Amino acid sequence: MDDPSVEAFFSTLRAANPHPVTELAYSSVFELLAAVLLSAQATDVSVNKATRALFVAAPTPQRMLALGVAGIEQHIQRIGLYRSKARHLHETCRILVEEHGGRVPAQREALERLPGVGRKTANVVLNCAFGEETMAVDTHIFRVSNRTGLAPGKDTWAVEQGLLARVPAAYRQHAHHWLILHGRYVCQARKPACEACSVSRWCDSAPTMALHHSGSA
């Protein structure tokens, strides 16, 4: 994908969805952090089902801490890896209360020191809560970036750096949301919907349809 194609690619995605947002449900920065922490190897739908009651019971780090690991587990037991996630969330809340006055830090280094919070989670929080131009590379973004030729790379770090270098400034704020949604609903892993893809003309992997109609042979 050449640079003019990158511009057209994102311009098309923006026209279809000018203000993309995460599909995780939250009403505060803390709830966003908790939801993203719980979403590792789980669908947003399953996380939203679990946090609907969890966030009513414990909408702050202080109340989540008081709920205890066992209490958190009861709310999230249908989410994959729920036991380790409950421990991580509980310990994260302890650190937030003891070291950050119960507030979610806006610094990458501080976020990545929280249990269960890796670079991707920190990128989501920095982008959605604090407006930073980050690229939270999940399986969808990794696939789309490699398949389209937008930012090919062998690991998430390479793809992230490639995206930061190639995505035009005008689209950087929302780029990771457009790519996640595109990978989730159009450029799917097993059966990409190339025939319905609005950006297939700029994709390095899209099948060439011109001159291949049944009557052209």
CA distances from 101 to 44, 105, 156, 157 (A): 28, 10, 32, 31
Q: What is the distance between the terminal CA atoms of the chain, rounded to a whole angstrom?
A: 29
Q: Give the integer Cα–Cα distance in Å for 173 and 162.
A: 15
Q: Which backbone phi and psi does 160 adopt, to 5 degrees? A: -60, -50
49 annotated active-site: no
CB 121 within 8 A of CB 37: yes
Catalytic entry in 138, 154, 191, 204:
138
Catalytic entry in 120, 154, 155, 191:
120
CB 115 within 8 A of CB 91: yes
138 annotated active-site: yes
Q: Give the integer Cα–Cα distance in Å for 43 and 66.
A: 27
Give the alpha-carbon dihedral of 161, 162, 163, 169, to 10 degrees.
90
Report, as residue numbers or ranges, the catalytic residues.
120, 138
